Amino acid sequence: MMPGAGVPVLSLDAVSIRYRGGDGSLVNALEDVTLRLVAGEMLGIFGPSGCGKTTLLMAAGLLEIPTEGTVRFSGTQADTMAGEAALRDFRRRHIGFVFQKPNLVPFLTAVENVALAMVIDGVPAGEAEQRAMGLLAALDIAHRAGNRPAGLSGGEQQRVAVARALANDPVLLLADEPTAALDSRRGRQVMELLLGIARRRLAAVAVVTHDPRSIDLFDRMIEMEDGRIVNESRAAAA
Amino acid sequence: MNYLAWRDLSANMLRFVLAAAGVGFLLTGCMGITGLYRGVLHDALLTIEEIGADLWVVQGGRAGPFAEASTVSASLDRRVEGVAGAQAVRRFVQNNLQFEIGGRRQRIAVTGLDFPKDQGAWVGLTAGRLIEEARGEAIADASLGLALGQEVRLGRDLYRVVGLTEGQVDMSGDGQLFVTVPDTMDIADSRRPEAVLLDRAQGLGTTADRPSRIAAVIVTTAPGMTDEVATIIEAWGDVAVLSRSQQRDVLVDGRLWRLRLQILFFAVLLLTVTGVVIAMTIYNSTIEKLHEIAMLKLIGARDGFILSMILQQAVLIGLLAYGVALALSVLLFPQFPRRVVLLPEDLALIFCGLMLACAFGSWIGIARALRVRAKEVLA
Ligand SMILES: Nc1ncnc2c1ncn2[C@@H]1O[C@H](COP(=O)(O)OP(=O)(O)OP(=O)(O)O)[C@@H](O)[C@H]1O
Ligand SMILES: [Mg+2]
């Protein structure tokens, strides 16, 4: 599953997600959002806190079934799939996640953390670790492969997390504020990494960020407010 | 092997080892009490199995001489010898007495051999020889601490130890000393049975104490004649007859069933505690990993992967604990004052119980892990 650049990967059609709040009232976390992602593009998602950015990633990542609307992966209608187990299988094979915190498994070394994402898909441990070393090398962190997360800096951890997200060669890479915990130089590095993934691996990359300094890296940016996309802009051709 | 199970355990080695050690000690206890029961059973049946009697003729209305007291006339053997089909007839008497030997008060099961018909061939000598004189010779169990050739004073007379045997103890674990039947009677006459001493100490005076009588007459019958001989003797009316298997049942189902029930109860209790310890360990380590488990679900790990991690950890703790318990058992139990018999089938049963405990222990952790939602990572 490796479409060429510009091929549609994911489409959200009129997706709404409502939560029932603690007081019983409904929260419209996502309201009638329509969005398309194509292979090789890097999308920036901006907006104030609580506007629904994470919820949008959850819908795109098949972690939250829309209350209304559909999520389609290259033709597969996600919400008609056979429940949680099937969605998980789909995530394992085709989607990569990067979070604000690296969320590495503390008792695994860097290379094992990356290999884990292949092992859960049935790749033998030895082969998985070999491929994981390749990914770490590509992200310029191979020299730290034998360290546990506690022995890595925040930036190094985040690069390991990106390597893990790439382990299943995803068509869609979702990142929720991946640079929030990093200084601006390291943050910039991670953003450039993500852009490289979009370009070289032709994945569709969606990044939630508050950081205006990396605006120049996005092909497309959307701005959200109260669960809606209120503004969309395309980068001027460089 | 699950990719995470061992790596997690080795990263938390101390907790893992402590849990396994704790469970191991519990299992050692479990093996100990079942082994002790088997040992008691073995000791209780030892004489019955080895003395080579097909029938036991005992006091009428009694299931003696082991499960109940039995006294019969010392000449009963003559009557029994007259029965057609009775091939070998011996007198049997056994008294538990206390003697001072080497400055140490010791309990001895003095057992009579019907010399010269019985020189003690069945007791299994480990050193020395069988009894060759009608008077003054003894075969002693090693647990009594007597040396070959040593002379001990039992009552009025001296007895020379001519043979040694090993593991020949009675039901209560007292080492046996084999002497001839007349010697047995002399010893009992001179040294009142322990019960009498106890009664006297409590000011109860002497109870009926007739050491000139014997406990039972044992019969080896001609092949296939056992039932016939038993029927004839039983018809006399004044004595009771027990076959070897009845004698066995009387002890196992009569005298030892409470013990067995208790042992079973303790074994189940210990295995339950084992389950609780494993459950606590596994549950704690699962709770600590909830975030990682949510992350695993988010990146698409199947429930089976998470489940197998938890289950394998429980089983690993169980296996290590079982190894600890086996090693401790082999090292410790031979030092116990009473015989501990580890039967493969008991060990297998304990192993099955342990695996059940592991399954129960991991189940509670697994149940918690499966409730975790993937998106908790993003929250
Ligand atoms: N499980 C839930 N139950 C109820 N309300 C929820 C739940 N998850 C999110 N919400 C609400 O939905 C809205 C959107 O939340 P979301 O997490 O998508 O915001 P966000 O844009 O990611 O914010 P932030 O920038 O602070 O991360 C918020 O008002 C939030 O309170
Ligand atoms: Mg958010």
| Domains, chain A, with CATH or none | 8-20+27-234 (3.40.50.300)
CA-based nearest distance A68→chain B, Å: 19
pLDDT score recorded for residue B211: 45
Given a cut of 70, is residue B191 above it in pLDDT?
A: no
When pLDDT is cut at 50, 70 and 90, the band that residue A100 belongs to is confident
Q: What residue's CA is closest to ligand 1, atom 24?
A: A49
Q: Which residue has the tokens 């969606």?
A: A206
Give the ipTM.
0.90
Given a cut of 70, is residue B201 above it in pLDDT?
A: no
Residues in chain A closer than 8 A to B292 (CB atoms): 103, 105-106
When pLDDT is cut at 50, 70 and 90, the band that residue B192 belongs to is low
Pocket test for ligand 1, best of A16, A23, A27, A179 (most atoms within 8 A of CB): A27
Residue (of B196, B221, B220, B254) closest to B44 by Cα position: B254
pLDDT in tens, A141-179: 999 999 999 999 998 999 999 999 999 989 999 999 998
A120/B300 Cβ within 8 A:
yes
pLDDT score recorded for residue B206: 42
Confirm if B311 and B318 have CB atoms less than 8 A apart. Answer: no
pLDDT in tens, B106-119: 899 999 999 889 99
Least confident range of A7-16, A153-162, B135-144, B255-264: B255-264
Q: What is chain A's mean pLDDT, rounded?
A: 90
pLDDT in tens, B140-175: 999 998 999 999 988 888 999 999 999 899 888 899
Pocket test for ligand 1, best of A53, A211, A226 (most atoms within 8 A of CB): A53
Mean pLDDT of B71-83: 89
Q: What residue's CA is closest to ligand 1, atom 10?
A: A29
pLDDT in tens, B203-250: 544 443 434 678 999 999 999 889 999 999 999 889 999 999 999 998
Task: Check the CA dihedral B201-B206-B212-B216 and report its sign.
Answer: negative
- Region of residue B374 (phi > 0: left; psi between -120 and 50: alpha; otherwise: beta): alpha
A97/B299 Cβ within 8 A:
yes
Confirm if B71 and B213 have CB atoms less than 8 A apart. Answer: yes
Give this prediction's pTM. 0.80
Which residues share a beta bridge with A98?
A175
pLDDT score recorded for residue B378: 74
Cα–Cα distances (Å) from B320 to A175, B214, B314, B342, in that order, read: 42, 54, 10, 19
Can you tell me the distance from the alpha carbon of A149 to that of A157, in angstroms, rounded to the nearest whole number?
6
Q: What residue's CA is closest to ligand 1, atom 12?
A: A29
Given a cut of 50, is residue B34 above it in pLDDT?
A: yes
- Which tokens hold the place of B200? 């006297």
Residues lining ion ligand 2 (Cβ < 5 A) are A 54
Q: How does strand A204-208 pair with strand A220-225? A: unpaired
Instruction: Please report the DSSP string for B18-70 in residue order.
Output: HHHHHHHHHHHHHHHHHHHHHHHHHHHHHHHHHS--SEEEEETT--TTTSS--
- Omega cis (within 30) before B65: yes
Q: Does A162 touch chain B (CB under 8 A)?
A: no
When pLDDT is cut at 50, 70 and 90, the band that residue A80 belongs to is low
Could you tell me which residue, B271 or A225, shows the higher pLDDT? A225
Q: Where are the domains of chain B?
A: 3-44+258-378, 94-211
Q: How does strand A42-46 pair with strand A26-38? A: unpaired
Q: Does A124 touch chain B (CB under 8 A)?
A: no
Chain B residue with the nearest C-alpha to that of A166: B299
Confirm if B6 and B306 have CB atoms less than 8 A apart. Answer: no
Confirm if A139 and A193 have CB atoms less than 8 A apart. Answer: yes
